[in-house]
C-alpha cells in the first residue's frame, strides 16, 4: 500500500477540506504537516473557485498539538507568517471552520481557535493544560480566547489547566454547533456549504472587517471598512445579487 501523506487536501465544490492525517499519534503536528497546511491555505487564498475551508483530523481525533518527539529532535513545527501548524498566526482571508472530534487540548485547542468557526462532537473537550507541565500556551490561544470569551473564563481555563466540555464551550459561545459523536465533520461541511453559497467577495470582505477592526481607532473604522467593502459593493457580483433578487432566482457568482 502507498503511504498516505500526513495532511490530506480535497476540493468539494467551493469548499476545501484539510485533514490532519496521523491518527496513530493523534494527529500530532510536525514540520512537514505545517508546510502542507500552509500550502493548502495559500491555495485557498489565491483560488477564486474556493470560498471556505474545513479543517479536521483523521481517526476520531482533531489534534493533540505539537509532535513532541519531532520537537525533541530539534524540529520546530512552524512556518513563517502562518506560524505553528501553518495556521495559528494567520489562516486565510477566507473563512476557515474547525471540525473537532475528541479532545482539543494544548496545541490542539490553539489550532481550533485559529479557525473562524468551531463545530464539535458532544464528547469533545477543550483545554490548555500547559501550566500543569511548566509551559505556556504560545501558539495563539492566549490571543484568540480573550477575543471570544469573558476574560475571567479565559483565566480559569488557562490558569487551572482544567478542560471544559462541549456543552459548556457551546454555552460560552466558543463553538458554533455541537453534534452527536462522529458527525462533526458532516455538520462543518454543511455550514461550509451554506457559507460557500454566498457571494465570495462579500464573504471574504465581511470576515476581514470582523477580524481587522480591533486594530482600527475611532472613526478610522468607517474608512477602513470602506476600503474593504467598497470594491465589493461596485462588483459584478453585487449587481448579480440585485438582479437575482428582483428576478426571484438563485444568483450565479463570478467572484468579481
**250 assigned to active site:** no
- 190 in active site: no
DSSP 215: G
Q: Which three cell numbers stand for residue 16?
A: 476545501
Q: Which of 238, 239, 246, 213 minimizes the C-alpha distance to 227? A: 213
Query: What is d(CA 183, CA 168) in angstroms, rounded to the nearest whole number?
Result: 19
87 close to 131: Cβ distance less than 8 angstroms: no
How far apart are alpha carbons 163 and 123 in whole angstroms? Answer: 12
| CB distance 40 to 5 below 8 Å | no
Contact 114, 91 (CB under 8 A): yes
* Strand 52-57 to 78-79 pairing: unpaired
H-run or E-run covering 33: helix 31-46
DSSP strand E in 78-193: where? Answer: 78-79, 83-84, 96-100, 103-105, 117-121, 125-127, 164-165, 177-179
Place of cell 477575543: 147
Out of 32, 35, 75, 110, which one is annotated catalytic?
Answer: 110
Active-site entry in 32, 130, 194, 247? 130
Residue 235, sorted as left (phi over 0), alpha (psi -120 to 50) or beta, turns out to be beta
Residues catalogued as catalytic: 110, 130
Amino acid at each position: 500500500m502507498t503511504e498516505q501523506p500526513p495532511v490530506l487536501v480535497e476540493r468539494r465544490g467551493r469548499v476545501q477540506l484539510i485533514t490532519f492525517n496521523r491518527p496513530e499519534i493523534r494527529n500530532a503536528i510536525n514540520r512537514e504537516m505545517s508546510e502542507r497546511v500552509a500550502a493548502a491555505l495559500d491555495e485557498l487564498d489565491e483560488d477564486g473557485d474556493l470560498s471556505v475551508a474545513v479543517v479536521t483530523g483523521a481517526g476520531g481525533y482533531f489534534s493533540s498539538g505539537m509532535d513532541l518527539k519531532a520537537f525533541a529532535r530539534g524540529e520546530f513545527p512552524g512556518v513563517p507568517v502562518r506560524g505553528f501548524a501553518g495556521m495559528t498566526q494567520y489562516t486565510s482571508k477566507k473563512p476557515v471552520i474547525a471540525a473537532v472530534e475528541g479532545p482539543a487540548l494544548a496545541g490542539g485547542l490553539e489550532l481550533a481557535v485559529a479557525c473562524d468557526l468551531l463545530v464539535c462532537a458532544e464528547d469533545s473537550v477543550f483545554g490548555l493544560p500547559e501550566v500543569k507541565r511548566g509551559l505556556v500556551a504560545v501558539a495563539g490561544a492566549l490571543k484568540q480566547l480573550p477575543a471570544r470569551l469573558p476574560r475571567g473564563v479565559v483565566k480559569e481555563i488557562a490558569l487551572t489547566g482544567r478542560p471544559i466540555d462541549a456543552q459548556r464551550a457551546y454555552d460560552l459561545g466558543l463553538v458554533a454547533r455541537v453534534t452527536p459523536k462522529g458527525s462533526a465533520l458532516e455538520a462543518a461541511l454543511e455550514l461550509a456549504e451554506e457559507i460557500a453559497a454566498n457571494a465570495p467577495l462579500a464573504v471574504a470582505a465581511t470576515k476581514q472587517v470582523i477580524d481587522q477592526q480591533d486594530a482600527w481607532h475611532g472613526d478610522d473604522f468607517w474608512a477602513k471598512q470602506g476600503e474593504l467593502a467598497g470594491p465589493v459593493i461596485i462588483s459584478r457580483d453585487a449587481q448579480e445579487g440585485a438582479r437575482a433578487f428582483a428576478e426571484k432566482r438563485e444568483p450565479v457568482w463570478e467572484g468579481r
